[in-house]
Amino acid sequence: MPPSAPEPAPAHARARPSRPRVLVADDQRDVLTALRLLLKGEGYEVVTATSPAGVRAAVQDGEFEATLIDLNYSRDTTSGDEGLDLLNELRALDPTLPVMVMTAWSSVDGAVEAMRRGARDYIAKPWDNERLLAQLQTQVELCLALRRSRRLEQHNALLRRRRAPPLIASARAMQPVLELIARVGPSTASVLITGEHGTGKEVVAHHLHAASERAEQPLVTVNAGGLPDGVFESELFGHVKGAFTDARSMRVGCFELADGGTLFLDEIANMPLGQQAKLLRVLQTGEFRPVGSSRVRRADVRVLAATNANLAAEVARGAFREDLLYRLNTVELRLPPLRERAEDIAALSEHFLARLLRRYGKDKAIRGLTPAAQDALARHPWPGNVRELEHVLERAVLMCQGALIEARELGLRERAAARGAQPGLSALEDMSLEEVERHVIERALRRCEGNVSQAAERLGLSRSALYRRLQRHGLSGAP
């Protein structure tokens, strides 16, 4: 006879995600044993505790999808106060964690008080297995939905703060870039985006993400080169509440936020070697551990990285890991500097000007640029590339006194720009202190081939101090 068809799985065993973690707390060992056997047989990962202190320690150490806690732990105690106090603490530690309370001393008053303090459900001993499993599955699914919703809210907040501009690229030098985006965008391959500072690497990352099957999932951007050691792991991998002094709540890291989507690591060449090793391990295994947690998590993330440095040279001098470079540059996409795509200057200027006029409420007062100003923009060498162009136009919008922006209001040194020469001493004397600082920083970056760490050392600044100046002058994507 042919084998009989398997019986359909009960309702509580069908739609539940694989291996949810459940914390069970009771002072009676036989109760813990019975629940552990029941839940493990249903595919749950079970952790047990025998006291409120054990429950607190377990929740601080790792994430659970549900908890079942007794209301009484001390011998001859029937008030339920221990469990109710513990319930309050759990709600403070993790508001997304469903807490189901259980006690042999069940009463209407106890159930009402537990629900008032945030319990999701109430179970009386002895329990009915089918009913308990159905209640537990409901709470696990609600928990997962709530956490997905919170991650989406965090991602949407990132998007609201950082809207990507369109990719303006009609110049011949940009055609290989567009072709490569079309070719590798739909894949899951890692892409290393290279080019001078200010060339629009983050914009390209947005377009690579939009061209992929992950376009409906998060694109999370992090300045990998600007994270101090003290916050690197927390920013990328997250942390649990109480992991360190300022960890007042649980934090979702960038890898978890980008799960199913894309993670863009900017300024990758400026990461210290110790941080590079931690990043490499996650890229190799897909696994990470939030700070303060013993639980390993996984994330399916496509990684895009960007740098203005020569990573091959950084590898040669021992400042960048060769194995990490191989992980990041499955495909390398080079962005040309603005001086190599002069055909795009007019369109970029029009785009930036329209946006800036709206931002400052001058879209009715200023109509555009004079022909002389347009010519000055076309002849300027743009060492700061597209970001410098935007910065110059922003200054011009603020300085403009008429209906059209004049060349002098751009703040460019036209003769030096026409010659393609660096300003001499007399030109420096005509500059403001801010313009001199910008010029000196640009020269230091060029001498150091875009390496921010080396430029900071040459200028006698800390790396963080230089990053602040780069941001002020619109020369870098540093936070």
Q: 28 with 36: CB under 8 angstroms?
A: no
Question: Mean of the per-residue pLDDT values for the chain?
Answer: 81
Q: Tell me if the domain spanning 11-146 has CATH number 2.40.10.10.
A: no
Domains 11-146 and 162-336 share a fold: yes
Q: Please give the pLDDT value at position 391.
A: 92
Angle between helices 385-399 and 345-359 (to 10 degrees): 50
Look at the block and give the residue holding tokens 């025998």. 50
One-letter amino acid at 165 equals P
Overall pTM > 0.85? no
Q: Please give the pLDDT value at position 322.
A: 95
The rounded radius of gyration (Å) of the Cα atoms in the chain is: 29
For the cut 70, the answer to whether the pLDDT of residue 283 exceeds it is yes
Cross-strand partners of 306: 193
- Strands 297-298, 287-288: pairing kind: antiparallel
Q: What is the domain partition of the chain in residue ranges? A: 11-146, 162-336, 341-472
User: Which CATH number does 341-472 carry?
Assistant: 1.10.8.60
What length is written for the chain?
A: 479
For the cut 90, the answer to whether the pLDDT of residue 330 exceeds it is yes
* Mean predicted confidence (pLDDT) in 193-205: 94
* Mean predicted confidence (pLDDT) in 202-226: 90
Cross-strand partners of 192: 305, 332
Give the separation between CA 425 and CA 423, rounded to whole angstroms. Answer: 7
Lowest mean pLDDT segment, chosen from 43-47, 336-340, 435-439: 435-439
Q: Please give the pLDDT value at position 108.
A: 55
Give the separation between CA 353 and CA 456, rounded to whole angstroms. Answer: 32
- Is pLDDT larger for residue 385 or for residue 430? 385
- Is pLDDT larger for residue 149 or for residue 442? 442
User: Which CATH number does 162-336 carry?
Assistant: 3.40.50.300
Joined together, the tokens standing for residue 129 give 């297995």
- Which range, 40-49, 106-115, 343-352, has the best average confidence (pLDDT)? 343-352
| Cβ atoms < 10 Å from Cβ of 225 | 24
For the cut 90, the answer to whether the pLDDT of residue 443 exceeds it is no
What is the CA 460 to chain-centroid distance, rounded? 31
Q: Please give the pLDDT value at position 3.
A: 39
Q: What is the pLDDT of residues 2-34, one digit of tens each?
A: 334 333 333 333 334 457 889 898 888 888 989
Query: CB under 8 Å to 373, separation ≥6 — which residues?
Result: 396, 404, 405, 406, 407, 409, 410
pLDDT above 70 coverage of the chain, percent:
82
Lowest mean pLDDT segment, chosen from 207-221, 282-296, 326-340, 385-399: 282-296
Give just the sign of the alpha carbon dihedral 375, 380, 381, 385: negative
C-alpha distances (whole Å) from 372 to each of 340, 346, 377, 409 are: 21, 13, 9, 11
Q: What is the pLDDT of residues 89-144, one digit of tens each?
A: 887 777 888 888 887 655 556 666 777 777 888 787 788 888 889 888 888 888 88
For the cut 50, the answer to whether the pLDDT of residue 56 exceeds it is yes
| Cβ atoms < 10 Å from Cβ of 213 | 11
Q: Please give the pLDDT value at position 229.
A: 80
Q: Please give the pLDDT value at position 279.
A: 94
Query: CB under 8 Å to 173, separation ≥6 — which residues?
Result: 336, 340, 341
Joined together, the tokens standing for residue 398 give 């603020």
Q: What is the pLDDT of residues 392-438, one digit of tens each?
A: 999 999 999 899 999 888 988 643 444 444 554 444 554 566 677 88
For the cut 90, the answer to whether the pLDDT of residue 249 exceeds it is no
